[in-house]
Structure 1
Amino acid sequence: MKVVAEGSGGKIANAIIIPMIAVVVLAVACVCGLMIWSSQISDESAENSQRKLLNGALKLKLDQMARQQVGTVVWDQAYFNTVGEELDHAWLYNNIGHWLKSTYGFSRALIVDRDREPVFIYDEKLNRDWMTPEIQNQLSTAIARTRAHYITSFQRTPSGLYRFKQDQTNDGRILAETGLVRMGSHVYFFSAAAITQEVHTITAVRRPPAVLVSFDKLDSEALAKIANISGLADLRLTENAGLLPRLATVELRSPKGVVIGNLQWRPNKPGTDMLGRVAPVLLILALAIVGLTIGVIDFTRQTTRRLASSQAQAVHTASHDSLSGLPNREQFSTLLSEALKKTQDEAVGSAIVYIDLDRFKDINDTLGHAAGDEVIRAVAGRLKAIAPKTGVIARISGDEFAMLLADCENQQSVEQILTRVQDQMVRPIRIDNNELFVSLSMGAALAPRDGTDPGELLRKADIALYDAKENGRGRWSFFDNSMQETVQTKDKMSRELRRAIDNDALDVAYQPQCDASANEVIAVEALARWTHPEMGSISPSSFIPLAEETGLINDLGQWILRRACRDAHRWPDLLVSVNVSPTQFKHPRFVEMILETLDDFNLAPNRLEIEVTESVFAGQHMTILKSMKRLQDRGVKIALDDFGSGYSSLSYLRKFPFDTLKIDRDFISDMDDSLEAEAILTSIIQLGQALGMTIVAEGIEARHQIGFLADNGCHRMQGFYISRPLADEALAEFLDDRAMKQAMAVAANEEQQPSLPLKLAKG
């Protein structure tokens, strides 16, 4: 056996080790390649950034030249001295050429007249030979653009004349084109600007301007300034970029697009530098990985041998729950199939019992998941102690267990075991310093009475468990066909409800709320109604809990809210109150959906009141309070419904400033027979008044109830005495009828008032 295990372990080891070596080699190669690629990308990115800086410095220099020409080209004297037939060269020399040289260092200047002929050539060394046809050809494009820009700046007026429109380029006063040209062995910056008047007049004919072209040599001093601005090292001007291929290059082009030179510099190499620093570390890591791989290979061989020898333990672990030590769902299914096969072969009975911990979520929420785990382990231990030797206990899910009872004679024998289970749960479970009393709900199905198929029996046991939980928890139920019919009916109703929501087949009734005098309707409460075409009218007490149970409550609540907001425009003076379930409040976008609905129907937030019960706070106090505060800050009113029906209402009044307090209807119905109920009602109203809330009493069924509540300061009344819930059309008629009766009563009251005697003035 040992030899077989070692042989099996060796095969497993080889199956692991060979791919591992391949993966390690591939990983090392990938890391090295990635580092080299990353360094190249980093170098290229740094070089591109420096290239952008250099281009920016060149543009800055050219823009500066254009701005420096403003005082010379936007000048009436310069304009009139360049448009005449005979030019004053001495004036042009002193006021343009020499002035630009002495002020800005422009070493050369050229003036081209309106006919594109050079009429003035300046050089600091009085050399005119530099202006050659080749230079004129290089500049022709820039000069043409400058002239065209100037001409198009004149816009035609309705009268047929032309008016100059100020250009917004450069500083807004100069029309210029800039660039670089080569003159002999040197490269020059140039700026070609139109010579214009200081103030333009309306003209009948658009004529091209004379153009001043200023030149500044790109010498070592200019290179140093550009290198300083762009932060480049060893910036140099070369004619052939191929002479120094390791340097970064920016090509200098003439206005014609011809390369006239290259600026080269020693670029930063952050990626290469980083690779040089990291390479030794990578080498050390590679050696460490090789050593680690050898160690892992040896460890893997030993581990696979141990795993091969402990296969039985691995199988047990895979088939059992780690927390409770009980068989898991898969193992239980296997054991159940074997037991049912025996049932068929030997004609013996078996039972499947589903067991669920009642309100287990409350334990996790209040004491934490660690306490919940302790409870699971304690319950598992007690169930194992009770189960007969032929029985099996398994943990199916978080708080759900399953019991397989083989060789059961009848239902009574199963009930005896279930009674023992309930007796075990009477004793508390001690967690730290807490004693927890845990109850169980159980559902059972018997084979062969309820079937012999494993899936069918599990489903029927689950239906029986559902019946036990529905009928009070802490009990057991055995499956019968009526339970299945109930489940199918609920399933059908939930599907019909889904269809009704999707098809807009529900209705909303509105129950009016009057003021303290019971004369004026000031609010309505929206209540869902469902009339099924086959099942007839279905009570909200049936389909709303069903919506909660099946997860439809969010869609149902949103449908009611949208309908109420839509209908609210029919009664612009009324507040609309809508009930919201705890499940809706837990939706992550609940507040956003409320606000979006208000926007969709253009309803003011202060016309909407959200009614909540204290159960909405269970387990998520701070999250719920923050959501309610967001709604309240936007103007939506928040009402605490059924006040006094729970245990914690007063604590929630301290935590959140509700706008409205609705008194539970049980207090109203008890006030006729109980002085204590009247005292409690008075106290609740006084409490609400002290907290600045609007008090609403619901369940009003008699006139004297309104009188008592009004005398004690209640603000709004709601109940059948005032009106039953009404459809929107019926509510409109109710409001119109009530308004008419009130108007008639006012008129009758005025007629009964005695007339005042007339006093005649003395003549």
Structure 2
Amino acid sequence: MKSLSKLLLPLRSLPGVHPVMRGLLLTVLVVLVIFSAAVYGGFIRATRVADSEVRGKERVMLGNQIERLIRSSADAMRVQVTWDEAFARVGRADRPIDDKWADTNLGGFLWSSFEADDVYVVSPGGGMLAAWTRGVRTGSQEYDLLAPVVSARLKAMADNRSVLGTIAGHRHLVDTNWPVGADGRPLTRWSGMLARDDGGLAIVTIASILPDTQFAALRGTPNHLVAVRHLDAMALATLGKSLLLDDLDWSASEPASGNSLELRSPDGEALGWLGWQSDDVGATISAQTMPLLGTYLVFFLLTLGIGGVVIRQALQLARQSARREAQAQRDALHDPMLGLPNRKLMMRRVNEALGRLDAGEAVFLAYIDLDHFKAINDTIGHPLGDEVLAMAVARLKAVLEPEDVLARLASDEFAIVHRNVPGTEQASLLGERIMAAFAEPFLIEGTSLPVTASCGIAWAPDLAQEPDELLRLADIALFRAKQRGRGRFRYFTEDMNASIRWRQDMEVELRRAIAGEGLEMHYQPIVHVADRRVVSFEALVRWHHPDRGDISPGTFVPLAEHCGLMPQLGDWVIRRVFADSAAFGDAEISINLSPLHLAARDFLPQLRASIDEAGIDPARFVFEITEGVLLDNSDRTLTLLGDLRDMGFRIALDDFGTGFSSLSYLRSFQFDRIKIDRSFVQGIENDLDGQAILKTIVNLGRTLRMKVVAEGVETLLQQQLVEASGCELVQGHLHARAMPMDRAAALVRPAGVPRLRLAAG
């Protein structure tokens, strides 16, 4: 108050100022001081609240990340310990563990693959049976510190509250009730926590060692695997960097400054603190706002500035609102990644162009699709795929005329709106300009990548009157360009309508063929190279049309995919192969499984019905899937494949090596066999690198306990090179083409074997 009195004293003694005005000024000043103090106090509180909110979110984010690390460690361990051999070697509590096997498959593998610093195999009661530090067997000194924690968690895990998977029931063992899933599979008991280690902090994960198929072998509580990952300074720095938390470190006591998170064990034991430099926003807000606050005070004293500030802020808000509205309108009509007009805006531009046409003019619409872009994207990755799209747009813009409109219709589909005189000559000129844009390969990170495009062109008003019809005709022309081999353009002609009608007629006839037994199965032998003995067959569907003759699978299978007939076609194939299998004795039969068929909701019920109807043994059949089935790596897909395996079927990965992620799929699912794509066999006679790659794939299959089949063997030299690489099973025209059921079945009877040998030799 004394300071305020000193401030008001000069105002009280202002000479020549009317007392009323003087009182008004005093009132204004007092109100200003009080108001400014309130504003400042509120501002300080707001910055502190903002800092508190930021720190709270950082603590939640760090806690969640630690939980994810613990859970991911458990998931990684489950893959290695849910395994018949692992259970037999180290999992049974009533038998000694296999030290040599455990050194390789547990201690060494978990260190090299998952960076587990310490690994222990412990008994159901927590007694240590084996220990490794960074993949090297060691004594029990390190485990002595963890033994009480592990023993306590093992007791807690017995209540079946911490389980990987959904519990459908329990199986009574000699010493416990073990949780099982809906398919009877024992579920993994697990526990994960933070714990103090020798002078620091560590993530400790415990998981039970279980069989993955021989469920009956589990008679009592098994041994458990304990993995320890030390959170040293480097690990914490990596964790902090991933969360944008600077100077993340552990300490036994609460840090004096910055943000921190207290750590406790599941039993409530204090484990210390994680501290870091918080991204406080209060100081930044203060530094940026204080000058504005001072300016506000000056303008307040001048009175006139109040109106100016208010008006200026109002205008600024109005401009921001207008900019946001304009941006929203632009976003609704433009592609967010490339900034091009989208389908809606393109159709509007076509409609506007049709409305402004002069006599003798036409609006051309070129529908462009990048060829095999999905395969390119899967091969080089989505970031580089986006770069390919951007380069394609730049090249298309370079061949456009000033008034042309380039739009993006879908992921790899574009359209160009162009005005010119009507006719095929101008359509050809437009198509040639577009093809010229893709004449040279794209240079992606120093690698030359050939990218082609297919294009369909139509024009109005000669061919269409409405934008939707014009787009439909251009789409038909695009389809014809793809039919002719891609990498070309076609302009719409009336005969193309006939091809669309042909496709519609073929769809109707394919439906009839499926329903009326108009299809038949052929079988191609798979041969053991050592004695040319037929060991199995691949089932291939064929269609002999009564009027059109033989129709290639390359024609009717894509048609079935396009019109939604793959589930019906796939069910027909499975039923027919099951019925034919009686003629093949004990020979295995492989069936190709389409991604669209596998995705059908009634796939498993239909399959079970077919098994019951035919009375077959699923162990005789192998389902072949391509990488397309696994592209999304969804839980449902992996669950379905697991269900097929549990039913007795075997699973093969077809066309191995042609996709970007073939090796990763071998980790996500345990296949029974892999089929080497024919591209690795064709031309191998003069390709030393190809021979080395083939041998590497065969060795990989053997290491993973998978049979390996080489496809596309057409010459004796190719077979010799395949055999030299260690591959024992081959398939190809050298031995036999796909043949009707009766001829194929004869090959597995004693009289049929010599005929195949003569054909092969």
- TM-score category by the smaller chain? 0.3 to 0.5
Q: TM-score, normalised by structure 1?
A: 0.46
Q: TM-score, normalised by structure 2?
A: 0.46
User: Larger RCO: Structure 1 or Structure 2 (Cα < 8 Å, ≥ 6 residues apart)?
Assistant: 1
